[in-house]
Each structure stands twice: as C-alpha cells, then as structure tokens.
C-alpha cells in the first residue's frame, strides 16, 4: 500500500510527537472518547453564512406567516412545476 503524506498527516504526527504519544495511542483515545460520549465530544457544527441561514429559514417564515404556497398533493406540485417550466 502506497502512503502519501499530507500537511494534515504531518501536523498530526508532529503534535503526537510533541505530546510524547504514538499516533495509534491518539487514535485509540479518540475512539474511547467518541464511544463514551456517544459521538463527538465537541461541537462539529460550523457556523453558516447569513445568506445560507436566511434561505433555510425562509420556508419556515412563509409557513408561520401564512404566505407559503400550499399544495394538495405531489401531483399538484409536479403540475405547477411543469407548467412553470413550460412558460
């Protein structure tokens, strides 16, 4: 198996060495902490840009304000979508 070093791998190796532990010890401890926490023991969510957050919130805002377009069935959705594409 060919091994290709990357900057992330090099940084991982340097930090492990600085801490005086092997890379396998780091990984074993990570797995133990991950299992103990039932997932990541730290926040893995990244902040969204304002534009992205607004586009995600828009449908909820429309529903809450009563301005959302309501459809009676998926067939109705497809009919409206198809007619909009043909115009």
Match 């992330």 to its residue by tokens: 8
The domain ranges of the chain are 7-37, 50-86
What pLDDT sits at residue 1? Answer: 47
- Write out residues in the chain with pLDDT < 50, as ranges: 1, 87
Largest CA distance in the chain: 67
12, exposed or middle or buried, with CB in 10 Å at 0-12, 13-18, 19+?
Answer: middle
């Amino acid at each position: 198996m060919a091994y290709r070093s990357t900057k992330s791998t090099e940084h991982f190796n340097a930090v492990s060495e600085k801490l005086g532990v092997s890379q396998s010890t780091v990984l074993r401890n990570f797995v133990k902490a991950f299992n103990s926490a039932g997932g990541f023991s730290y926040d893995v969510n990244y902040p969204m840009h304002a534009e992205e957050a607004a586009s995600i919130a828009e449908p909820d805002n429309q529903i809450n304000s009563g301005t959302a377009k309501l459809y009676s069935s998926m067939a109705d959705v497809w009919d409206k979508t198809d007619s909009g594409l043909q115009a």
